[in-house]
A and B are shown apart, each in its own frame.
Chain A
Amino acid sequence: MRIDFLQSANLANGRRIGGSVAATDPRPSLVGKESNFSDICATDLSLLGLEKGPRDKQHENYGLCCPETMMSNSTNNSNSNSSHREDDRKESNSTLTGVDSRFNQTLRNVQGLLKGRSFPGKVLITRRSDPISDSGLRSPDIDRSFSDKDAGTSEQLDDSVVDEIQSNSKTNSSSTVNKSRSLTVNTESTSKESQKSTMGARATDSARLTKFTKALSGSTVILEKMRELAWSGVPSYLRPTVWRLLLGYAPPNSDRREGVLRRKRVEYLDCVAQYYDVPDTERTDEEVTMLRQIAVDCPRTVPDVSFFQQAEVQKSLERILYTWAIRHPASGYVQGINDLATPFLVVFLSEYLEGSVDNWSISDLPLEKISNIEADCYWCLSKLLDGMQDHYTFAQPGIQRLVFKLKELVRRIDEPVSRHMEEQGLEFLQFAFRWFNCLLIREIPFNLVTRLWDTYLAEGDALPDFLVYIFASFLLTWSDKLQKLDFQEMVMFLQHLPTQNWTHLELEMVLSRAYMWHTMFNSSPSHLAS
């Protein structure tokens, strides 16, 4: 994806930076060439799509890979790796009837509950079914068989994409893909085709799978290597293992791993027994207040995904959050931390529950498994929040600091929109506070969150700083739109961003642009200081 971005620049640029993009993984490929890259960026911002015109064009390019186009020929390439998302969509289509009946059932339940009353106006119930098409939530089996079947067929490997960038010629593999797509998309250029397939299938790409498997198989996992791989997305069935490693919860040394996890899970159970499973009379007033707040928030956590409405899931969440809060008295529980626990729950449950998260039932699991999953969630949440402790302490100075940095960065990158926001009296705190507080969970469809978190966790200690780049990239997705809005319209727009139909494509776009800006500005601080 990042290669794709550069590639567009490359095309526009008469291959000026062609030589610097030759590596399989986009991220490391840039690292070695940082100075070179930023030099180019400094002089050729427009060519990289940093100015209005070219960036718009880029959006158009990406528009070509829109899901509609891909959907329309989904029947033709069910064997192709790049049709991963189409498969998901087919899945979602086929479950649509079931979805409707479930929705109607929910509606009936609610109506029954509120029987005899009539409500004026609209009563809103979110359809608890949309986030089906997530590769992150697929069952392990599907993913495995998927990759086996596809190995060596018509898929696009990263390497072949790179080859194409360099030679700009059609390879066999790409032409196969082209054939299956040519029904709806004019093959304007090979490069666009390759862009499309890389983005559509990155995480399950079998070359990447092989790399992940290899990186995980040694007696000691080299975390730096794992971070590089994970940055661009982790295959869903490896995600639990990879996340535990990246967060420093599971040790890299495979001999020690099981033992450590076993010990940590017991430790968590002890904490729950000590802090949670006690009568309210043994709690301080503050603790009672905190528990009450958590109990109020658990039912309001990801309410649009029905799985989280199950009583046992909410109890698990309550135990995790309360135990965390008690053990972190400097901040205690802060609303929004409940959101942060949910990706962990979904990911660690995916080791045991198959299919879409909407069909999961936690009561299918034995208690022991649930407690292990809960423990993993607890420790991973703790590790994640260790890196941002002052985000949740009094007055939340960590968040205030990052919001300020975001404002500064946006000013450097997009002066017109920055000026417009300032003229209208819009404060970054008015919209970006929630972004930082909930790490964007509230702003994108839930089914994309785990992919976003692959990158978060790969960043590790550098995450808070990198968030600023991701959020700048996210915000500037709507740069043109924002400049047409006045203060009130902007606040409302930014608090209800139109991301409901976002797919991995839009998210990858945000991430790669964030990466590019990070590379530019971090290696050339003068850009930020000027």
Chain B
Amino acid sequence: MSNLYGDFNQKIDYVFKIVLIGDSAVGKSQLLARFSRNEFSLDSKATIGVEFQTKTIVIDHKTVKAQIWDTAGQERYRAVTSAYYRGAVGAMLVYDMTKRQSFDHIARWLEELRGHADKNIVIMLIGNKSDLGTLRAVPTEDAKEFAQRENLFFMETSALEATNVETAFITVLTEIYRIVSKKALTANEEAESGKSALLKGTKIVVPGQEPESEGSKYSCCRSS
């Protein structure tokens, strides 16, 4: 299983859990489809509850698997979706740059996120639908300013044209990787009898973060 170059069971060094949040119909699911499968669907349905995708990338010669949870945008679902913030080490906070209101709500989303997620979570503010430039309702400067004030990364993207989508996700993943690998890592062998060689391995505990508990044992900060 430690054969880096071999076989079908690719060695995974890190698994990072990321959440996608923001108002309804800003393009969260499409950003995810673009990043994970390089697809864009013109007739997608509203997300109910949460949906899930993964994507494996290489950072600094390490294999990083992103486990991305895409959440429903409607307020009514927050009670259900906020449960998924736990254990997330990254978040994409998305608004629609042609809908001012979706940007105005960002502060509330951020509050929600900071209330439920880990303190060290890496957050990227995303203004999606940059292909609809003529309909822009949120000036880049407004968003930039907000991001600086709140200490967030910021990027304008188009899931349709695949502009900046990969860059945005990889920026977040790289930053998470940087934080995780910089910190003193205490590796402890996990006694696990699981059948899957893929998921078997060493657990990396990041000091200062709460230890993972039952429900999220396959989420972040875990190498195999």
Contact = CB atoms under 8 A, between A and B. Distances in A.
A293 interface: yes
A394 B76 CA distance: 6
B199 interface: yes
Interface string A463-501: 000000000000000000000001110011001000000
Given A332-B76, A335-B24, A488-B218, A122 B43 contact: no
A119 B74 contact: no
A430 B45 CA distance: 18
A303 B43 contact: yes
B60 interface: no
B182 to A, nearest CB: 27
Contact of A434 (B43, B49, B162): B49
B162 A120 contact: yes
A430 B52 contact: yes
A296 interface: yes
A333 to B, nearest CB: 8
Interface string B39-60: 1111111101111111000000
A434 B48 contact: yes
Contact of B38 (A120, A433, A491): A120
B34 A293 contact: no
B160 to A, nearest CB: 7
A278 interface: no
Contacts, number: 116
A302 B160 CA distance: 21
B150 interface: no
Given A126-B43, A437-B48, A486-B198, A392 B76 contact: yes
Contacts of B54: 488, 492
Contact of A121 (B25, B39, B51): B39
Contact of B49 (A117, A392, A429): A429
Contacts of A126: 41, 43
A423 B39 CA distance: 32
B214 interface: yes
A336 interface: yes
Contacts of B42: 110, 123-125
A396 interface: yes
A424 interface: yes
B80 interface: yes
A334 interface: yes
B39 A124 contact: yes
A495 B51 contact: yes
Interface string A421-435: 001110101100110
A300 interface: yes
Given A394-B79, A425-B218, A487-B199, A122 B38 contact: yes
A367 interface: no
A492 B76 contact: no
A110 B52 CA distance: 28
Nearest to B47: A335
Among A122, A335, A442, the most chain B Cβ lie within 10 Å of the Cβ of: A335
Given A335-B72, A335-B77, A492-B52, A300 B44 contact: yes
A423 B42 CA distance: 37
B25 to A, nearest CB: 5
A395 interface: yes
Contact of A442 (B24, B43, B48, B161): B48
A297 interface: yes
B216 interface: yes
B6 interface: no
Nearest to A295: B25
A117 B161 contact: yes
Contacts of A124: 39-43
Nearest to B198: A486
A110 B42 CA distance: 9
B130 to A, nearest CB: 12
A224 B197 CA distance: 55
A88 interface: no
A252 to B, nearest CB: 35
Interface string A146-176: 0000000000000000000000000000000
A304 interface: yes
A424 B218 contact: yes
Interface string B75-106: 01101100100000000000000000000000
Interface centre among B45, B217, B218 (most CB of A within 10 A): B45
Contacts of A110: 42
* Central interface residue in B50, B54, B83, by most chain A CB within 10 Å: B50
A438 interface: yes
B161 A296 contact: no
Interface in B153-183: 160-162
Contacts of B74: 293, 334-335
B39 A122 contact: yes
Contacts of B131: 117
Interface string B9-47: 000000000000000110000000010011111111110
Given A488-B52, A488-B54, 6 more contacts: A117-B161, A123-B41, A300-B43, A335-B48, A429-B49, A433-B48
22 contacts: A120-B161, A121-B34, A122-B37, A122-B38, A123-B40, A123-B42, A124-B39, A124-B40, A125-B42, A296-B24, A300-B25, A303-B45, A331-B76, A336-B46, A336-B48, A395-B80, A425-B215, A429-B80, A433-B49, A486-B198, A487-B218, A492-B54
Interface of A: 110, 117, 119-126, 293, 296-297, 300-304, 331-332, 334-336, 338, 392, 394-396, 423-425, 427, 429-430, 433-434, 437-438, 442, 486-488, 491-492, 495
Query: What 8 A-B pairs come out closest when comparing CB atoms?
Result: A303-B43, A121-B38, A395-B79, A433-B49, A124-B41, A434-B48, A120-B162, A486-B196
Interface of B: 24-25, 34, 37-46, 48-54, 67, 72, 74, 76-77, 79-80, 83, 131, 160-162, 194, 196, 198-199, 214-218
